[in-house]
Amino acid sequence: MSLYGRESNSGTFAYFRENILDGEDFSRSTHVLQGTAALAEAVSNDKRGIAYGSVGYFIDKPGLHIIRVKTPGTETSISPVDSNHPNYEDIRTGRYLISRKLNFILRDTPGKATADFIQFVLSAEGQKIAEEMKFIPLN
């Protein structure tokens, strides 16, 4: 097996290490690449390759297979993909265990431009764009 992962300053790296590896280090044999698109490319060219990352980067890539994850203590396994589309229900409800939320973090009360941007992201139009980018919309 060829392991591929993100660089240590990546939020995806930090999430996976803390929540999936329980704080343990990645294998020293992990090929560290910059960006999830690079991981998708590497795995598509390596028949023994495996990587982790946002489903949106992998879902439409020919030659890649998104694997199911077994729920601990059960025989149930859940896929983040259903008929080549993100599995919104199982991801939203937490049944698919490898997912994280993204948050806006601000130091101060947002100015008008920032507040307008946040409102746009939360709007129907913003959520439609999120869905087109294969992110999980809020509703």
Whether the Cβ atoms of residue 12 and residue 61 lie closer than 8 Å to each other: no
Confidence band, pLDDT 50/70/90 cuts, at residue 124: very high
- Report pLDDT for 92: 86
3-state secondary structure at position 91: helix
pLDDT tens figures, 49-78:
999 988 888 888 888 999 999 988 899 899
Residue 94 has pLDDT above 90, yes or no: no
Lowest mean pLDDT among 32-46, 52-66, 109-123: 52-66
Output the average pLDDT for the chain.
91
> What domains sit in the chain, N to C, each tagged with a CATH number?
2-93 (3.40.190.10), 102-139 (no CATH)
Residue 84 has pLDDT above 80, yes or no: no
d(CA 40, CA 51) in angstroms, rounded, equals 8
- Report pLDDT for 44: 93
